[in-house]
């Protein structure tokens, strides 16, 4: 009953993997750096979309979970000498735990109230980082220890690129699995009709909490990787503007759609680079493009992709409208 046929999405994944492989082996350090940042944005967007798009809970503090991942993994490496492949997952787990804690009061809220509660959480994290300067470096920031596979084997820039790419692939793959699973259906069901979901045995409160924790875990992973790639963390990077930027990724890409998270994050990460030639007008141009995409593709860039796949794969099968009429 499982669909094992080659679908456009597989071709897309394959092409993506190939491109990344090519980029990692041929490109110079600056382009690789930019691509790494874009891939990290993809991971963050994937997590945020699970929460906002699928479970229907607005969040203005996704960047705070990235901060927990970034500071957490840096401090674990600095204090206990953990290699990155231990410190980052630990920090992501920590972010998930904090996410679950935040989700507990948050699941009673929705809409603007939830937005404000998560905004308050963002401020708390900012203040906590700034005030515990002994550990975090406060407003001056923190130098991130060089990443290593093993104490004697450092991670070179090229390997770091592939680490990021691998983590990005893992994030997309695991989110795809989750969305297709029972849990994924329940997360969507809790958003679409909490009443019916409850009646079908879904604990809406637990599902919403799970979505919070999951989304925070992806953000933690993204934050940990960001700290390695940039080599330096400061609280400003994880403020409200970062949180809003991540929301833009998923709104432009497509709410509740995994492909939307990927497309939105890649497009908006690439846009400033493409508009570089517009110099002082680049901000204006990117704002206009953003507005246009919202006006003409209110359901996100992913609609383009859906048009493409629906036509090529299911030329006849659009089983809408009742056959019973």
Partner 1 sequence: MTPRLELDCVSVRFGGVNAVQGLSLSVAPGEIRGLIGPNGAGKTTVINAITGAVRTSDGAVRLDGRDITRLPAHEISKLGVGRTFQHVEAFGEMSVLDNVLVGVGRATKGWILQYAFGTPHARHCERHLRRLAHETLEAFGLLDIRNARAADLPFGLLKKMDLARSIAAAPSLLLMDEPTSGMSEAEADSAIAAARILASSRGTTLLVVEHNMRVMMALAQRITVMQFGAVIAQGTPQEIQGNAIVIDAYLGTDDHEEGHDVVH
Alpha-carbon gap, residue 283 to 100, rounded angstroms = 36
CB of 122 to partner 1, least distance (A): 25
324 is a site residue for partner 1 (CB under 8 A): yes
Helix (H) or strand (E) holding 142: strand 142-143
Confirm or reject binding of residue 189 to partner 1 (CB under 8 A). yes
Nearest CA among 27, 66, 43 for reference residue 157? 27
72-111 binders of partner 1 (CB under 8 A): none
Give the other-Cβ count within 10 Å of 123's Cβ.
14
Identify the residue among 195, 276, 279, 295 touching partner 1 (CB under 8 A).
Answer: 195
Nearest-angstrom CA–CA distance, 83 and 303: 41
29/181 with CB nearer partner 1:
181
| CA dihedral (129, 131, 137, 141) positive or negative | positive
Kindly tell me which residue out of 92, 186, 220, 260 binds partner 1, with binding defined by CB under 8 A. Answer: 186
What would the two tokens of residue 193 be?
């009709």
User: Exactly one of 34, 100, 101, 183 binds partner 1 (CB under 8 A); which one?
Assistant: 183
Distance (Å, whole) CA 150 – CA 154: 7
192 interacts with partner 1 by CB under 8 A: yes
Which of 197, 216, 243, 266 is the binder for partner 1 (CB under 8 A)? Answer: 197
Q: Does 258 bind partner 1 (CB under 8 A)?
A: no
The answer to whether 47 contacts partner 1 (rule: CB under 8 A) is: no
In the block, residue with structure tokens 């002994």: 134
List residues near partner 1 by CB under 8 A: 1-2, 174-175, 177-178, 181-186, 188-189, 192-193, 195-204, 210, 214, 256, 317, 319-325
């Amino acid at each position: 009953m499982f669909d094992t046929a080659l679908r456009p999405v597989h071709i897309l994944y394959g092409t993506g993997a190939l491109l990344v492989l090519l980029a990692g082996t041929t490109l110079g350090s600056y382009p690789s750096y930019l691509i790494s940042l874009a891939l990290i944005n993809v991971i963050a967007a994937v997590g945020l979309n699970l929460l906002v798009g699928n479970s229907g809970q607005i969040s203005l503090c996704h960047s705070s979970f990235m901060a927990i991942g970034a500071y957490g993994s840096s401090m674990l490496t600095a204090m206990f000498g953990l290699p990155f492949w231990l410190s980052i997952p630990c920090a992501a787990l920590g972010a998930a735990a904090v996410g679950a804690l935040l989700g507990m009061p948050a699941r009673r809220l929705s809409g603007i109230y939830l937005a404000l509660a998560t905004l308050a959480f963002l401020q708390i994290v900012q203040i906590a980082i700034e005030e515990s300067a002994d550990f975090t470096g406060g407003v001056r920031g923190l130098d991130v220890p060089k990443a290593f596979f093993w104490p004697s084997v450092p991670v070179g820039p090229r390997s770091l690129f592939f680490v990021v790419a691998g983590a990005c692939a893992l994030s997309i793959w695991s989110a795809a699995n989750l969305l297709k699973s029972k849990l994924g259906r329940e997360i969507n069901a809790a958003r679409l009709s909490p009443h019916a979901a409850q009646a079908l045995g879904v604990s809406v409160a637990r599902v919403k909490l799970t979505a919070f924790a999951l989304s925070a875990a992806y953000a933690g992973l993204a934050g940990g990787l960001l700290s390695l790639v940039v080599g330096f963390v400061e609280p400003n990077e994880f403020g409200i503007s970062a949180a809003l930027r991540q929301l833009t990724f998923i709104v432009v890409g497509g709410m509740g759609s995994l492909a939307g998270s990927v497309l939105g994050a890649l497009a908006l990460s690439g846009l400033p680079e493409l508009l570089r030639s517009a110099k002082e007008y680049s901000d204006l141009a990117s704002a206009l493009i953003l507005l246009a995409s919202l006006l003409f593709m209110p359901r996100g860039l992913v609609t383009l992709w859906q048009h493409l796949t629906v036509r090529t794969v299911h030329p006849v099968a659009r089983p809408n409208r009742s056959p019973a009429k």
